[in-house]
Structure 1
């Protein structure tokens, strides 16, 4: 009876390993989607932060100088521009990382093929 329990345990472990190996590509795909979502949120936060900082500076200067909406509008526009520039820089960083990863993968494939 003990032998059959050991056989069942080995069979169960083999099924678990097979299920894990099938699930790995899906997990990698989910990681890519997750990183894309993180990138999107990062860009949104950068844009909103730029505009928020511009709004704060403009509102503070308008309050101090009595130039009611003008400096707030100017600094919000400057904050928007700064946010967009930061978003573009983030996108370039991600693109460069993907290119570097692609080059590393290509080197690995050529080494494996030799």
Structure 2
């Protein structure tokens, strides 16, 4: 029993020290930076993937039908449009997530 009492007392002491110091629990700037960098890479990869898939489909159809540059160019533009569409959807998703995060924080401040 003495061991448990000691652990409880230490836990209580650590909580009181943290409260006295006023240690805020906030995200570090570096964590936010990494999050933004990951988002940027995700968008770049989505765009490049759209272009690559469009190029592959166009090149394959050109090889199949014997119409060298026509379908490749058309599907590159379609892949570009698809990549931009996915990027815009991702940006909207992140914007909604940030807006809902702010609303939750505003509600906590009202209490």
User: Same fold, TM exceeding 0.5?
Assistant: yes
Q: Does 1:88 align with 2:88?
A: yes
SS in 2 for 1:69: helix
Deviation at 1:90? 0.2
Q: C-alpha offsets along residues 2-51 of structure 1, whole Å, 9 cap, x if unaligned?
A: xxxxxxxxxxx9xxx7xxx48x65x5211111111011000000000000
Q: C-alpha offsets along residues 50-88 of structure 1, whole Å, 9 cap, x if unaligned?
A: 000000000000000000011000000000000000000
TM-score, normalised with respect to structure 2: 0.76
1:69 counterpart residue number: 69
More helix as a share of residues: 1
1: CA distance between counterparts of 2:77 and 2:41?
21
1:30 counterpart residue number: 30
1:98 counterpart residue number: 98
Q: How many residues align?
A: 93
RMSD (CA atoms): 2.0
TM-score, normalised with respect to structure 1: 0.75
Gaps in structure 2 of 5+ consecutive residues: 1-13
